[in-house]
Amino acid sequence: MPFDFNQFLTLATALAANPDEASQRTAISRAYYTVFHSARGRIELTVGTWEDRKNPARIGRHKDLSSHEWCWKQFRETNDTACRQIAAEGDRMKTRRTKADYKPADYGNINAEVQRQLVAAAQLQADLAALNALYPAPLP
């Protein structure tokens, strides 16, 4: 049975209740990965897989991007406003995740950052579920 990445959001919410910085940073990261995997799964229904990116007949113009860059670009490069908004928020969440995972500097008010990420994750999950079944669709 495939893993349900929504469990990451459940874990993130539980970790957010812990006062230690490691739990807080991990909550930020897991919340991002919930929506990343949902978005990537959505793309696979309409565009193809990241692994297909090297096939010029499919989506070869994205062959040099990381899976994260490729994912959000699929939403950004559509004619649908909702998809472009999903891409923008996905990029913001990825920036917060990168800071949490790789930047050792003091966070300041990490609790606010965790809450911002959890709210964004829940909203993006809802936004993805509400998309027209045709999107994201690549531009011609």
Question: How far is CA 89 from each of CA 11, 93, 94, rounded to the nearest angstrom?
Answer: 21, 6, 8
Judge if the upstream peptide bond of residue 140 is cis by omega within 30 degrees of 0. Answer: no
Q: CA 27 to CA 24: how far, in whole Å?
A: 5
- What pLDDT digit, counting tens, does each position of 86-103 carry? 999 999 999 999 999 999
Placement of tokens 């995997």 in the chain: 37
- Asked whether residue 1 carries a pLDDT value surpassing 80, the answer given is yes
Question: How far is CA 2 from each of CA 5, 6, 7, rounded to the nearest angstrom?
Answer: 9, 12, 12
Domain boundaries, given as residue ranges, for the chain:
6-130
DSSP assignment, residue 6? H
pTM over 0.85: yes
